[in-house]
Amino acid sequence: MAAQVQALPAPAHGEQRGIDTALVGMLLFIASEIMFFAGLFGAYFNIRAEHTVWPPQGFELDLGLAAVLTVILVSSSFTMQYAVSRIRKGDRTGMVRAMTVTVILGVVFLLGQAYDYATLGFGISSGVYGTLFFTMTGFHGAHVLGGVIGMSIVLLRGLSGQFSARHHTAVEAVSLYWHFVDVVWIGLFSTLYLLR
């Protein structure tokens, strides 16, 4: 009998096998976010399929600005991944530098989007196209903002030296999230600007 009794299982916060629990949580969260945007994209294609003229007359988008913003956001994914690769090697300074660049690129994207909103000739209540455009890009913008805030927190923690080559789950998590935000934008850019 005594031989059958085992020690306590590994506590929830200790060393674990395989992928980190917090990263599992982040991946699951991203899965739910994908479904959220799937709902928005589903709405877009459903409504688009009902219209013969698309986009309806009088809705002009600023393709040039959006292309610049796309380049900015995609580059920020690379700087983010560079930050992750630096901290994996234990290079805190490199991580902080790359993360700072990423945050700046994220902010520039948001400012660019704000400028775009201010100069577009239509609003959220000017028919279903306006509603779709502002809802989809708006929710994406909110996610960019969330990512910028998350990266800033990670940056501050990095500045106070909280990460090392072995302990940097938060950096990995925020990078997963940032890549996801980037991929959603590529989907949005293709759908709203390229496919029209």
Partner 1 sequence: MATTVLAPGATRIYQRSALYEWLTTTDHKKIGILYLTNSFLFFLLAGLLALVIRSELAVPGLQFVNSSTYNQLFTMHGTTMIFLVLMPFLAGLGNYAVPLQIGAADMAFPRINALSFWMLPLGGILMFSGFFFGGAAAEGWTSYSPLAQAKYSGSGTDLWIVALLLIGTSSILGSINFLATIFKLRAPGMTLLRMPIFVWTVMVTSLLILLATPVFTSGVFMLYIDRNFGGAFFDPASGGNPILWQNLFWFFGHPEVYILILPAMGVISEVVPVFSRKPIFGYKAFIFATLLIGGLGFSVWAHHMFTTGAVYLPFFSLMTSLIGVPTGIKFFNWIATMWRGKITFATPMLFALGFLTTFLVGGLDGAILASPPVDYALHDTYWIVAHIHFVFFGGTMFGVFAAAYYWFPKMFGARLDEGLGKVHFVLMLIGTWLTFFPMHLLGLEGMPRRIADYSPAAGWTDLNTIATIGSFVIAISVLPFMWNVFVTLRGPRDAGDDPWDAYTLEWATTSPPPPYNFDHLPPIRSERPLFDLKYGHGARRALPAASLATADEGAH
User: Which residue number, 126 or 152, has a Cβ lying nearer to partner 1?
Assistant: 126
128 contacts 172 by C-beta, under 8 angstroms: no
User: Shortest Cβ distance from residue 30 to partner 1 (Å)?
Assistant: 10
DSSP-derived secondary structure letter, 4: G
Give yes or no for a cis peptide into 55 (omega within 30° of 0).
Answer: yes
Where on the chain is the footprint of partner 1 (CB under 8 A)? 1-12, 16, 18, 21, 24-25, 28-29, 31-40, 42-43, 46-47, 50-51, 56, 123-125, 127-132, 135, 139
User: Shortest Cβ distance from residue 16 to partner 1 (Å)?
Assistant: 6
Integer distance in angstroms from the first to the last C-alpha of the chain?
A: 71
In this structure, the number of other CB atoms found within 10 A of the CB of residue 11 comes to: 8
User: Which residue number, 78 or 139, has a Cβ lying nearer to partner 1?
Assistant: 139
- What is the C-alpha to C-alpha distance for residues 20 and 166, in angstroms, rounded to an integer? 12
Query: Which residue carries 């986009």 as its tokens?
Result: 55
Query: Which residue carries 């935000």 as its tokens?
Result: 181
Per-position DSSP letters for 8-42, written without gaps between them: PPPPTTS--SSS-HHHHHHHHHHHHHHHHHHHHHH
User: Shortest Cβ distance from residue 25 to partner 1 (Å)?
Assistant: 5
User: Which residue number, 56 or 94, has a Cβ lying nearer to partner 1?
Assistant: 56
User: Shortest Cβ distance from residue 95 to partner 1 (Å)?
Assistant: 25
User: Shortest Cβ distance from residue 176 to partner 1 (Å)?
Assistant: 14
User: Which residue number, 47 or 61, has a Cβ lying nearer to partner 1?
Assistant: 47
| HEC string for 99-141 | HHHHHHHHHHHHHHHHHHHHHCCCCCCCHHHHHHHHHHHHHHH
User: Shortest Cβ distance from residue 82 to partner 1 (Å)?
Assistant: 28
User: Which residue number, 83 or 147, has a Cβ lying nearer to partner 1?
Assistant: 147
User: Which residue number, 31 or 156, has a Cβ lying nearer to partner 1?
Assistant: 31
